[in-house]
Amino acid sequence: MKLDAMISCDRYDDIEVLCVYHYPIRLDIEGELSVEGVALDTTRNTDGEECLLLQTSSGEQQIVLDHLIQIEVLVENPHLRKIQFQPSA
């Protein structure tokens, strides 16, 4: 099992808000351009990595939290607009 990089508690709280309200979001991910979908839940993949479960146009995808660069919420809301993550060391 891979050791998880530390994501701040504030970032976890923000991700939970995205999932509770099922916000449509755009994720900027290390090594990829971006992925759009609806935030559903947090989960772990088969390697034990913490993930964001995203409903995309091609089905559900697990996005590893440690690979996130930025999340942008695609609708007006009173909670969040963008979430920035620290780059990996």
Q: Is 3 among the domain residues?
A: no
Q: Is 1 among the domain residues?
A: no
Q: DSSP assignment of 33-85, as one string?
A: --EEEEEEEEEE-TT--EEEEEEETTEEEEEEGGGEEEEEE-S--SS-SEEE-
Q: Give pLDDT, residue 7.
A: 82
Q: Is 89 among the domain residues?
A: no
CATH number at residue 20: 2.30.30.100
> For the chain, what is the domain count?
1
Q: Is 2 among the domain residues?
A: no
**Residues counted in the chain:** 89
Q: Spell 52-73 as b/e; 16+ CB within 10 A means b.
A: bbbeeeeeeebbbbbbbbebbb
Q: Is 80 among the domain residues?
A: yes
Q: Which residues span the domain enclosing 21? A: 9-84
Residue whose token pair is 């998880």: 4
Q: Residues 8-61: pLDDT tens digits? A: 889 999 999 999 999 999 999 998 789 999 999 999 999 999 999 999 999 999
Q: Residues 53-79: pLDDT tens digits? A: 999 999 999 999 999 999 999 999 999
Q: Give pLDDT, residue 2.
A: 45
Q: Give pLDDT, residue 30.
A: 92
